[in-house]
Structure 1
């Protein structure tokens, strides 16, 4: 996030790092990503760290409330650590997992509504969400996903249904289009008008989602370990290696949960099938593509139907909401 979290000071982060035995010489806020907050640190031994502070109020896919969110985040981070540690042959060396505290924890609470985890700061070139992968990069990422999907699931990995936890917020917003959304902030009313213009198309896409989710459940396809968000923004290029960051969405699901974000055509699908023996399901690919867009709309609406100002993060949410709604409507 570009904006710092309210109520979390650098000194709070510095104090939290003691659980990892890290005494920072430098600690700087890093305005990157969207959703979580990040710092970079260099300690007295000249080791460099990437520190993530999660806002537990915005982790609804783990369950209701901050306690459920903390448990879910801990399961996800424990899963990433287990994946990294489980393969001594290096097959999963692309997993950028958190380091454990002296007490063996992968994540620790920070105040009443946040949690902190610590990662080694990796060298490489970070990708950007929305960029187009080259055929070479796609092949490398398809291969690492195939390796991930063949892995025996750690005990901490949760099964994740296709339904998205933010759907009630989207349904609520669609049901309140007749009344002005005053009192929230500058982007609330534009968001209401946007949804009103495309309400029929959005409801049609929700019906499509329900149909495809029902078909997937009826098929009872085996579940595998999935990353959840293997897009270029979570990809780090280190020479010929490709590393995957941000494992807070890891969980058990069908492979298409990952694949739709990477594959661009029949060659990529065939490469995956030859590596795993599993043929990707076109309807499941379409389901998870649609799920991503609907969930994004719900999350952006949640932010814009809450108190906000004309900040960079609010403006980014409004622009992304408008693009996503119009794209979904055009495809209806």
Structure 2
């Protein structure tokens, strides 16, 4: 019963109406929702994220036009291997991990977790389980099913985004004080940004992506509950190297206020012995750092649908990302 066709009743942004979501989830997955509400979908502008409820269960529902199917295939493969810190997608009535609607993927996953990992960090057991789930991810064999959907991680898109943002800030007049501040911050750090661009390009020969990675396992993508944690948002899963994931617990990125030596020790008790290659670590820190500052500067500089409150926050985050504890600085260490 999983089939294509237009999403009936979309709004002007191509988003499905609530009645359409209820109908499609029933038709494709056999789940009869009693209510659906929109949730904060983060920075993925190509996705519509919702929470659906039945009389007894809640589900995370995603209707996405972007990314690859790896975000569903990888957690499904982990769940099949007994990894409990992932939420396996609900299969459609004909056994697929997603359905196709209007050229987009419609997926349903059990709703998990009571709070975000950024809200108070993780306890000892949760940190160990965090290490365990990433170790299991890195140990996944690259089957034909995974190879068919996993992109190969690299730096080309991040360098292109950096250059495009640099050109935007250089060639376009700022429309207001927020945009002007974003341009000033970028200009003040232009030499260091250029140095990271050069370093990432030079380190690329040291990196051979061959390991299944989440690529975005910061604490904002960890949900915690009593005695449990779940690693979510696998949409950027790719073939990479372990350092791509491990950099998120080694310092210089989101959630650092909750990650000290004690937390890292707990994490690696779960993960197991590992040798970190400092050149690959610098490569991924630089590539991700460039992607983050390009996104934040572009958001701050350009008025859009998300309002000045978000643009002002993006300026603050841009400054922090370029500060002494940010990935840009650590990539040059």
2:193 to 195, 202, 205: 202
Contact 1:225 1:253 in 2 (8 A): yes
Give me the whole-angstrom Cα distance separating, in 2, the residues matched to 1:46 and 1:151.
33
1:140 to 129, 134, 137: 129
Give me the whole-angstrom Cα distance separating, in 2, the residues matched to 1:111 and 1:186.
40
The gaps in structure 1 that reach 5 residues or longer are: 57-68
1:323 aligns with 2:315: no
Question: SS of the counterpart of 2:84?
Answer: coil
1:245 aligns with 2:232: yes
- Equivalent residue, structure 2, for 1:13: 21
Give me the whole-angstrom Cα distance separating, in 2, the residues matched to 1:320 and 1:271.
26
Give me the whole-angstrom Cα distance separating, in 2, the residues matched to 1:269 and 1:305.
40
Q: Deviations over 1:231-279 (max 9, x none)?
A: 2111122333322111111122111111111245599479749965542
1:190 to 181, 189, 204: 181
Q: How large is the Cα RMSD of the aligned pairs?
A: 3.4
1:22 aligns with 2:31: yes
Q: Deviations over 1:271-294 (max 9, x none)?
A: 749965542212322322222221
Give me the whole-angstrom Cα distance separating, in 1, the residues matched to 2:214 and 2:322.
25
> What's the TM-score, normalizing by structure 1?
0.76
- Equivalent residue, structure 1, for 2:52: 41
Contact 1:180 1:189 in 2 (8 A): no
Residues 167 and 108 (structure 1), Cα distance of their counterparts in 2 relative to 1, 3 Å cut: farther
Contact 1:167 1:298 in 2 (8 A): no
The gaps in structure 2 that reach 5 residues or longer are: 1-10, 251-259
More moved, 226-235 vs 281-290: 281-290
Give me the whole-angstrom Cα distance separating, in 1, the residues matched to 2:238 and 2:12.
27
- Equivalent residue, structure 2, for 1:61: none
2:91 to 94, 100, 125: 100
- Aligned residue-pair number: 302
Give me the whole-angstrom Cα distance separating, in 2, the residues matched to 1:286 and 1:138.
24
Q: Deviations over 1:185-225 (max 9, x none)?
A: 774443223222221111011112223323334xxxx7322
- How does 1:120-159 map onto structure 2 within 5 Å? 120-128=110-118, 133=122, 137-157=126-146, 158-159=150-151
